[in-house]
Chains A and B, each alone.
Chain A
């Protein structure tokens, strides 16, 4: 269980994280989603005490991170897979973590096997590692203390498709066994497939949070017909928002039932009527974060 309350970080006049509150529950994967520079990493660094919060609190299992006697046994943290000593071997980095936590030496081999690093790779120095291998090593360091909570910042970066699949299954398994997983990403699709709950952040503020199902349901309807212009007018007259897409498709914030009724009274025959799905979430993500997105200014 992770509880973040009113967490704020200001750098002079710039507020990087602005009164952020959310909860990551046990048994669930919580996706922390936002464009680059939205404040995800700063929030996560404040949670584990690497950055001092200007105000607000973050607790893990009811305690402040600094009050955990042996944090590695309770929270597995991976903030940046590149932040590992280039001159150490993978095995050595994991051994240093295992020793700090006071774990039996056998954990190192078990964990290397679990993240799919071979003996040969484990003996190599990290400067020769690909980003994907560093991510695997970072995951191993986070998991070696058998913690109940995982905090991972962009763990899928640099992984190949098979690696992303592996990571997804690992996190799913972990949550299904009762663990709490908080993972961040700026890629919607990556998080959509694994997360149960979503926390969307833009410009340092939380712009949406809830279960994935909740966030998806409010997204609207895609409707197609032979007379898109007539239908668009009817929808607009009924007070619904309308966006015109390709091949006569319209996207509206009205739910499918209402769209059907409006079409019937307007006398328009529909060729397609469905709730907007994953694409809708992507549009929501883009819309919610448009103000803070760098590309948003130019678009």
Chain B
């Protein structure tokens, strides 16, 4: 068949108000806007800058203070990893809570009434920041490893496999997701940040103490302690049991609260 069929001419909209065709706001544009909103305040800018600054400081201190034997890629990665694990969840927390604490949600959710799309855009923007800053961290760590061993004259040791690196990124994504979750559920910047530190710093200590004192809890802990499951990712010791721990604790601490939090954001009155 060779006849060319013209595409039907769309009839002009019947509604008088629709004087031009307006297309739906694409998700990619929303992600771009959300990324911009992470950088465009002083607080946001310095939070982002602190990722790079922490990378450099951590690397420099390993070169300066770690004994020659310990100057391996793993040491650099561990030194950089700690500040990253603190900063990245804050990025996710503030991406969500800013709309409520600063009341910018009034504009944001009026320009995009489908709040779920805004949340997806925020999640993707946070994830982008996490992955990019982890790549930066690995690069700075590698550079530190080369420079450090060149200064000391010791052999350069590359003791992190590609798979382990992926696990570390995943471990940080878990922390970031916890931050995002708390942002959704608490919807207040200071509250969510405090909540994050209670869950990631205070709770693990309490749970370990409990496991040490009560034998019944010792077996249960890996199945309820997200931090424990996250630790296996950072250490690169992901057995099938460790994956199961991660899945169960992830369901408990991330999936269920996210479902609850998203419902709350979708239904709540934006004031």
B-binding residues in A (CB < 8 A): 1, 26, 45, 48-52, 60-63, 65-66, 68-74, 77, 79-80, 82-88, 92, 95-97, 99-102, 141, 148-149
Q: Are A74 and B17 also in contact (CB < 8 A) when A79-B106, A85-B102 are?
A: yes
Taking A69-B23, A87-B44 as given, write out 14 further A-B residue pairs in contact, using a Cβ cutoff of 8 Å, ordered by the A residue number: A45-B269, A50-B106, A69-B24, A69-B25, A73-B22, A74-B17, A79-B106, A79-B110, A80-B103, A87-B42, A87-B102, A88-B40, A141-B107, A149-B17
B256 CB–A CB distance under 8 Å: no
Query: Most A CB atoms within 10 A — which of B16, B22, B41, B109?
Result: B22
Among A51, A87, A100, A141, point to the contact of B269 (Cβ < 8 A): A51
Closest to B24 in A: A69
Quick one: CB contact mask for B16-59 with A, threshold 8 Å, 1 for yes? 11110011111001101100110011111000000000000000
B111 CB–A CB distance under 8 Å: yes
Q: Are A85 and B98 also in contact (CB < 8 A) when A61-B18, A149-B17 are?
A: yes
Among B37, B40, B106, point to the contact of A80 (Cβ < 8 A): B106
| Chain B, range 1-24, C-beta contacts under 8 Å to A | 15-19, 22-24
**Complex contact B37–A96 (CB within 8 A):** yes
A-binding residues in B (CB < 8 A): 15-19, 22-26, 29-30, 32-33, 36-37, 40-44, 98, 102-114, 267, 269-271
**How near does chain B come to A73, taking the closest CB pair, in angstroms?**
5
Q: Can you sample 20 A-B contacts with CB below 8 Å?
A: A1-B16, A1-B17, A50-B269, A50-B271, A60-B17, A61-B17, A68-B22, A69-B23, A70-B25, A71-B110, A71-B111, A71-B112, A73-B22, A82-B103, A85-B102, A85-B104, A87-B42, A100-B33, A102-B25, A102-B26
**Complex contact A83–B104 (CB within 8 A):** yes
Closest to B14 in A: A62
Among B41, B110, B114, point to the contact of A50 (Cβ < 8 A): B110
**Complex contact B32–A101 (CB within 8 A):** no
Closest to B106 in A: A83
**How near does chain B come to A121, taking the closest CB pair, in angstroms?**
17
Closest to A46 in B: B269
Query: Most B CB atoms within 10 A — which of A80, A83, A87, A100?
Result: A100
**How near does chain A come to B66, taking the closest CB pair, in angstroms?**
38
7 interchain residue pairs of minimum CB distance: A61-B17, A87-B41, A83-B103, A69-B24, A83-B106, A50-B270, A49-B113
Q: How far is the CA of A297 from the CA of B106 in the complex (A)?
A: 33
Q: Are A65 and B19 also in contact (CB < 8 A) when A52-B269, A88-B41, A96-B33 are?
A: no
When distances are taken between beta carbons in the complex, the residues of chain B under 8 Å from A87 are 41-44, 102
**How near does chain A come to B86, taking the closest CB pair, in angstroms?**
21
Q: Are A62 and B110 also in contact (CB < 8 A) when A70-B24, A96-B40, A102-B29 are?
A: no
Q: How far is the CA of A20 from the CA of B23 in the complex (A)?
A: 31
**How near does chain B come to A139, taking the closest CB pair, in angstroms?**
13
Q: How far is the CA of A59 from the CA of B29 in the complex (A)?
A: 26
**Complex contact A97–B113 (CB within 8 A):** no
Q: How far is the CA of A70 from the CA of B18 in the complex (A)?
A: 12
**How near does chain A come to B69, taking the closest CB pair, in angstroms?**
46
**How near does chain A come to B113, taking the closest CB pair, in angstroms?**
4
When distances are taken between beta carbons in the complex, the residues of chain A under 8 Å from B108 are 100
**Complex contact B41–A49 (CB within 8 A):** no
**How near does chain B come to A8, taking the closest CB pair, in angstroms?**
15
When distances are taken between beta carbons in the complex, the residues of chain A under 8 Å from B109 are 49-50
Q: How far is the CA of A70 from the CA of B37 in the complex (A)?
A: 19
Among A49, A84, A92, point to the contact of B110 (Cβ < 8 A): A49
Among A45, A66, A74, A84, point to the contact of B107 (Cβ < 8 A): A84
Q: Are A77 and B17 also in contact (CB < 8 A) when A82-B103, A100-B25 are?
A: no
**Complex contact B15–A63 (CB within 8 A):** yes
**Complex contact A92–B40 (CB within 8 A):** yes
**Complex contact B113–A100 (CB within 8 A):** no
Q: How far is the CA of A50 from the CA of B271 in the complex (A)?
A: 8
**Complex contact A99–B29 (CB within 8 A):** yes
Among B36, B40, B98, B110, point to the contact of A77 (Cβ < 8 A): B110
When distances are taken between beta carbons in the complex, the residues of chain B under 8 Å from A70 are 22-25
Q: How far is the CA of A162 from the CA of B191 in the complex (A)?
A: 42
Closest to A148 in B: B17
**How near does chain A come to B24, taking the closest CB pair, in angstroms?**
4
Query: Most A CB atoms within 10 A — which of B16, B30, B32?
Result: B16
Q: How far is the CA of A88 from the CA of B38 in the complex (A)?
A: 11
Query: Most A CB atoms within 10 A — which of B24, B29, B102?
Result: B102
When distances are taken between beta carbons in the complex, the residues of chain A under 8 Å from B19 are 148
When distances are taken between beta carbons in the complex, the residues of chain B under 8 Å from A63 are 15
When distances are taken between beta carbons in the complex, the residues of chain A under 8 Å from B33 are 96, 99-100
Closest to A84 in B: B104
Q: How far is the CA of A80 from the CA of B109 in the complex (A)?
A: 13
When distances are taken between beta carbons in the complex, the residues of chain B under 8 Å from A51 are 269-270
